[in-house]
Amino acid sequence: MDYISNSKFSESYFYGLPEIHKSEEISNAILEQNSEYIELLRPNNLKFRPIVGGPNSVTQNLSHFIDIVIKLLCREVASFIRDDMEFLNHLPTTVNPNSELITFDNVSLYTNIPHDLGITAGKYLLENTENVIENRLTKEFILASLKLILERNILLL
Domain that holds residue 70: 13-152
Closest CA to 137 of 72, 44, 84: 72
In this prediction, residue 154 carries a pLDDT of: 61
Instruction: Find the angle CA(77)-CA(79)-CA(80) to the nearest 5 degrees.
Output: 65
DSSP-based three-state secondary structure for 51: strand
In this prediction, residue 155 carries a pLDDT of: 55
Number of domains comprising the chain = 1
**Residues 58-96: tens digit of each pLDDT:** 888 888 899 999 999 988 888 888 888 998 898 888 888
Supply the pTM of this predicted model: 0.66
Listed in sequence order, the residues at least 6 apart from 44 whose beta carbon sits closer than 8 Å to its beta carbon are 25
5 assigned to some structural domain: no
Indicate if the pLDDT at residue 153 is higher than 80. Answer: no
**Residues 11-63: tens digit of each pLDDT:** 778 889 998 888 888 888 888 888 888 888 888 888 888 887 777 778 888 88
134 assigned to some structural domain: yes
